[in-house]
Chain A
Amino acid sequence: MKAAAPTYQGSREEFLTTRLDALVDMLRQYGVNWARKNSLWPLPFATACCGIELMGVGASRYDIARFGAEVMRFTPRQCDLLICAGRVAIKMMPVLQRIYMQMCEPKWVISMGACASSGGVFDTYAVIQGIDQFLPVDVYVPGCPPRPETLLEGVMAVQRIVEQEGIRTSRERGRGLRLTVQPAAELVQIGTEARS
């Protein structure tokens, strides 16, 4: 390597400094949820073709890192957002349930794509007709597969839930907001039960 060793002499002004009291102000103002919503760590439960789109969302073009959710963790104990991308077979449902149970509170679930939300075209004995029959789902992302933008909108919907719901755990949240995403990126509330 020919490159000269980097010197930091005389470049003191280039360092970025953050004032700690600004950070504390942010936390005071928005609470822990401000931090939490911007660091959702997803568990990619990608069982089928939707998983490919999920990878696309993680890659540089759509870049889920802009929402602080790029840290895909494959152990449920480190995740707070379960993205179920793809159809769930009858043998897989107990696995999915166990993964959900192992995630630490607070946790959210995105049901990505037609298959995870309703079984899609796979109306057969072997495919679960919508994971929400057996799991609490927070956000349904429509599409087959959903465009990356749609999934990002889903992540943003979860962020809004986090913001609104406070630091209550999902046990305290009841069945959750049950939000859905509209093309106009509006937040629509379709169920208000169990919200205080």
Chain B
Amino acid sequence: MTKTVQRVITALQEAFPDVDFAVAPLLAGRRPEEEQVCVRVPPTRLAGVMRFLYEDRRCRFEQLCDLTCVDYLNFPEATDRFGVTYALLSLTLGHRLWVKCFVNDPDPEVPSATGIWQGANWLEREVWDMFGVRFTGHPDLRRILTWEGFPAHPLRKDYPLRGRGERENYEVIHRDSA
């Protein structure tokens, strides 16, 4: 963990003393200066923590590199199902942070980050489309890869790889119908 990230963690713990951030390296066995740090945030506190990470002058995460989700169904030792993952980068201070927010069935819901990073808009639509995690406060939460009315969330682990017949469900055009 680099010094600036250490400062970020301290700042977080000072500002949110009631939250257990479960600070852990993202990948074990890296050299300390390469190590990236992951913190856990409960969905109820996510909006406040994100705003803090964006605004505090020790954090200054101006950029949301990625927003994605992991389905931990049947994952060994996993306690929650969906881990919505944020990859943050501070351009001024040059450090990175991963934020994970775990939610569960039914109705997994996470506050939207579009109010802070505009770029979260399509990323959140993708997570909604593929995993069915709802983002409250999102300005336009429609599906983005599949079409409106697609019956499933295909990247969930309990969705079969070959689908549930969506790919066979078309009108057949014969020579005489064209």
Contacts and interface: CB of A to CB of B under 8 A. Distances in A.
Interface in A93-108: 93-94, 97, 100-101, 107
Given A91-B146, A170-B178, A125 B161 contact: yes
A101 B176 CA distance: 11
Interface string B159-172: 11111101110111
A149 interface: no
Contacts of A127: 167
Interface in A120-138: 123-129, 133-136
B167 A134 contact: no
Contact of B170 (A93, A125, A174): A93
B3 interface: no
B171 A97 contact: yes
Contacts of B159: 125
A122 to B, nearest CB: 10
A101 B167 contact: no
Contacts of B175: 136, 170-171, 173-176
Interface in A13-50: none
Given A136-B175, A170-B178, A176-B175, A126 B167 contact: yes
A90 interface: yes
A131 B166 CA distance: 14
Interface string B136-178: 0000000001110000001000011111101110111111101
Q: How large is the interface on B (under 10, 10 to 19, 20 to 34, 35 or more residues)?
A: 20 to 34
Contact of A171 (B167, B168, B171, B176): B176
A128 B176 CA distance: 22
Contacts of A176: 175
B171 A126 contact: no
A141 to B, nearest CB: 20
Contacts of A97: 170-171, 173
Given A126-B154, A171-B176, A94 B170 contact: yes
Given A100-B178, A170-B178, A123 B173 contact: no
Contact of A136 (B146, B163, B178): B178
B168 A125 contact: no
Contacts of B173: 97, 100-101, 134-136
A101 B168 CA distance: 19
Interface string A109-126: 000000000000001111
A108 B132 CA distance: 42
The 4 residue pairs across chains A and B that have the minimum distance between CB atoms: A125-B163, A170-B175, A134-B170, A171-B176
20 contacts: A90-B167, A91-B145, A97-B171, A100-B173, A101-B173, A123-B161, A123-B162, A124-B163, A125-B159, A125-B166, A126-B154, A126-B167, A129-B167, A133-B172, A134-B171, A136-B173, A170-B178, A173-B175, A175-B175, A176-B175
Interface of B: 145-147, 154, 159-164, 166-168, 170-176, 178
Interface of A: 90-91, 93-94, 97, 100-101, 107, 123-129, 133-136, 170-171, 173-176
